[in-house]
Amino acid sequence: MRIVHVANFYSPRSGGIRTAMHAMAGQYLSRGHEPVLVVPDKRDGVTTVDGVKVVSLAAPRVPFSGGYRAVVRPGKMRGLLETLAPDRLEVSDRTTLAGLGDWAREAGVPSLMMLHERVDGVLRSWIPGGAEGGHAASFGATATPALADRYNLATLTRFDRLVATTHFAGAEVERLAERVRSAELPPLYRVPLGVDLERFRPDRYSAAARAEYAPPGTALIVLASRQSTEKRPDLAIDAAAQLMRDGRPVRLVVAGAGPLLPKMRKRAEAAGLPHRFLSFIPDRDRLATLLTCADVVIAPGPIETFGLAALEALASGTPVVCSSSSALPEVVGTAGAAAPPEASALALALHEVLDRDVDRRRKEARARAELFPWSATGDAMMDLHSRRAFDLADAGTAGRR
């Protein structure tokens, strides 16, 4: 079976979506199927990565995105799909590629949309000041659900199946199903993503490796995140600075690039916070070592729909402090702590986690991650792609599967 997965906002420096696409493709390949990834790039081309064909389509940069690209010629994408002749189509994009469900339906190809983000959350983050709270956030909280519902009704109904990685990710679809009972929404399934348990593991830790990032007796806090507005890296800086003011020796290490990187570096300097900004780390083994050496990883993004970096931290034996308004509490469980997306609340959560017994918190983190192997994701997706699953799923209702 040829399974074609298309996406925007994929680049050599992209994080979660790139990792998820290649991991899922690897699962399909190991089961004897033919995965093909179609992504935007500077120019058209075809490469092979770990046995998986990656087809690139020339696409322009998205303004203010930090280098991401998006396909703006859907006709060209449709022509490519005609050539590829997929048996199944997966789409990881809620923007310019949302119309591909129509192509799949016309071509008789079963399709599904991966819900890697929530439209209402993205809209709220675009409202000036909405991500920081206050009047704009209040306006966003009331206006964006209605706008998201209208957009989702116009786009999601084009696909045969919807896949959410967490309950949080699928919540806006369930909300729409309740508000618009006559809408023929596709069935909604929950399929958690996974983690590479071989690459991200606690035994990468060494005193020498840790000393590269922080001196002994200093709490090493790591933020592994894209430096962009919706991720709220400012909260990580402010929370770590609060720990410093509380008298706890800390150092914040930031792994990730993005449009806010210069601004966040200045913010840390202004706070007098011991810090190190590494930008994007292309070497996955180096990233794994950093996560293992951390005492805690902070994931403050208030609208995260899964959080692969957080799961990689857990697999590395490192607890995670996350925003309680996101999907991350579903992933982290008790192997860390959740707090409202406010610097003071996150600082208290960091204190609480750092005060836990080191051996216990590391074992709990690893045990939690072991519940999310990529093989489980592959099993669930292949079950969805089986003809029986497509034939028997109830059409016209959105519900948890």
Q: Which positions ≥6 away from 96 have C-beta within 8 Å?
A: 8, 70, 71, 72, 74
Per-residue pLDDT averaged across 25-40, rounded? Answer: 97
Q: For residue 118, give the DSSP letter.
A: -
DSSP 242-286: HHHHTT--EEEEEE--STTHHHHHHHHHHHT--EEEEE----HHH
Residue 275 has pLDDT above 80, yes or no: yes
From 3.40.50.410, 3.40.50.2000, 3.30.60.50, 2.60.40.10, which CATH number describes the 2-195+374-392 domain?
3.40.50.2000
Residue 62 has a pLDDT of: 85
Residue 134 has pLDDT above 70, yes or no: no
Distance CA 74, CA 87 (A): 20
Residue 396 has pLDDT above 50, yes or no: no
- End-to-end Cα, the chain, rounded Å: 23
Phi, psi of 245 (to 5 degrees): -65, -25
Report the share of the chain in percent with pLDDT over 90: 80
Residue 259 has pLDDT above 50, yes or no: yes
Per-residue pLDDT averaged across 157-165, rounded? Answer: 96
CB–CB of 372/186 below 8 Å?
no
User: 135 or 331: whose pLDDT is higher?
Assistant: 331
For residue range 205-224, list pLDDT tens digits in order.
999 999 999 999 999 999 99
Phi, psi of 13 (to 5 degrees): -105, 10
The CATH code of domain 202-369 reads 3.40.50.2000
- The tokens for 177 are 């199903």
The pTM (predicted TM-score) of the whole model is 0.91
Residue 110 has a pLDDT of: 96
Per-residue pLDDT averaged across 75-99, rounded? Answer: 95
- The tokens for 256 are 């990730």
DSSP 210-225: HHTT--TTSEEEEEES
Residue 400 has pLDDT above 90, yes or no: no
CB–CB of 70/95 below 8 Å?
yes
Region(s) of the chain under CATH 3.40.50.2000: 2-195+374-392, 202-369
CB–CB of 122/303 below 8 Å?
yes
For residue range 309-353, list pLDDT tens digits in order.
999 999 999 999 999 999 999 999 999 999 999 999 999 999 999
Distance CA 2, CA 181 (A): 35
- The tokens for 370 are 């072991």
Distance CA 71, CA 62 (A): 10
Characterize the bridge pairing of strands 111-115 and 320-323.
unpaired
Query: pLDDT category, 142, cuts 50, 70, 90?
Result: low
